């Protein structure tokens, strides 16, 4: 079973739409969770960390369900600039800086 | 904003040749990493490095790979004898402390694209 699994998409949505991405992780010992975004042929950039109680950063909301080993990202009021690949990323906590990446979910926002 | 810089941005090499990829981590960071991403695939961990030694390495990081911090600023990844399957984007990253958490995250460089012919 893969460490981190994501629906690859692609998701094609109009500007202003709300879109949600899901992710599951296999290792119950995982301790830290993140969403990164990656533009085509660029480096991953941290979008937000995901906390147990759920957290929001502007139009972005992340949720974590440890019991189900499930992470989600909700994007409200999509902008053209949100077009990117969204990477679900997990760290087990005991290993220094070793992140496990999902393959990513591709989002295209059209005008 | 401080950044991780990598050189070269793109390198083309012949199979069997040695390649050195260079990285300058953020100056106050103490932990350094190499990741790679084969085209169309996920980002994969290669190695972490702290206090002038490898902290952890993945199954990918075999004897053909080595890392070094030759001076106070550079962090290098060497591939001794490149294979076709080494073609990928190689990302260097650094972090202030070793424990990844919501407060301490990895900052990635823009990557070095390696093409092995």
SS (H, E, C) B33-92: EEEEECCCCCEEEEEEEECCEEEEECCCCCCCEEEECCCCCCEEEEECCCCHHHCEEEEE
pLDDT number for residue B104: 64
Per-residue pLDDT reduced to its tens digit, A43-86: 999 999 998 888 999 999 999 999 999 999 999 999 999 999 99
Q: Whole-number mean pLDDT of chain B? A: 92
pLDDT number for residue B72: 77
The 8-class DSSP code of residue A100 comes to E
Q: B26 at the A interface (CB within 8 A)?
A: no
Distance from CA of A34 to the nearest CA of B (A): 8
* Count of Cβ atoms closer than 10 Å to residue B12 Cβ: 12
Per-residue pLDDT reduced to its tens digit, B63-113: 999 999 988 789 999 999 999 999 999 999 998 876 655 556 789 999 999
Half-sphere exposure in the Cβ direction for B3 (13 Å, CA): 10
Search chain A and give the residue with CA nearest B43.
Answer: A101
Q: Is the pLDDT of residue A19 over 70?
A: yes
Q: Is the pLDDT of residue B62 over 60?
A: yes
Q: Is the pLDDT of residue B20 over 60?
A: yes
pLDDT number for residue A29: 85
Of A41, A49, A97, the CB nearest to B102: A49
């Amino acid at each position: 079973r893969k460490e981190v699994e994501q629906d690859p998409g692609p998701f094609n949505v109009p500007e202003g739409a709300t879109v949600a991405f899901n992710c599951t992780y296999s290792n119950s010992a995982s301790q830290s969770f993140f969403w990164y975004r990656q533009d085509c042929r660029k480096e991953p950039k941290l979008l937000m960390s995901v906390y147990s109680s759920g957290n929001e950063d502007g139009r972005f909301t992340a949720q974590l369900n440890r019991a189900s080993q499930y992470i989600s990202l909700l994007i409200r009021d999509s902008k053209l600039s949100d077009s990117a690949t969204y990477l679900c990323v997990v760290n087990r906590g005991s290993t220094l800086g070793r992140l496990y990446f999902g393959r990513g979910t591709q989002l295209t926002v059209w005008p | 904003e401080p950044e991780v810089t990598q050189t070269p941005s793109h390198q083309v090499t012949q199979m069997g040749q040695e390649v050195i990829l260079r990285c300058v981590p953020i100056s106050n960071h103490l932990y350094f990493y190499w990741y790679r991403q084969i085209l169309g695939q996920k980002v994969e961990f290669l190695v972490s490095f702290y206090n002038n030694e490898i902290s952890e390495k993945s199954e990918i990081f075999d004897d053909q790979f080595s890392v070094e911090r030759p001076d106070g600023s550079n962090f290098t990844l060497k591939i001794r004898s490149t294979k076709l399957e080494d073609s990928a984007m190689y990302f260097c990253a650094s972090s202030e402390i070793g424990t990844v958490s919501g407060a301490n995250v990895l900052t990635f460089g823009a990557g070095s694209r390696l093409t092995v012919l």
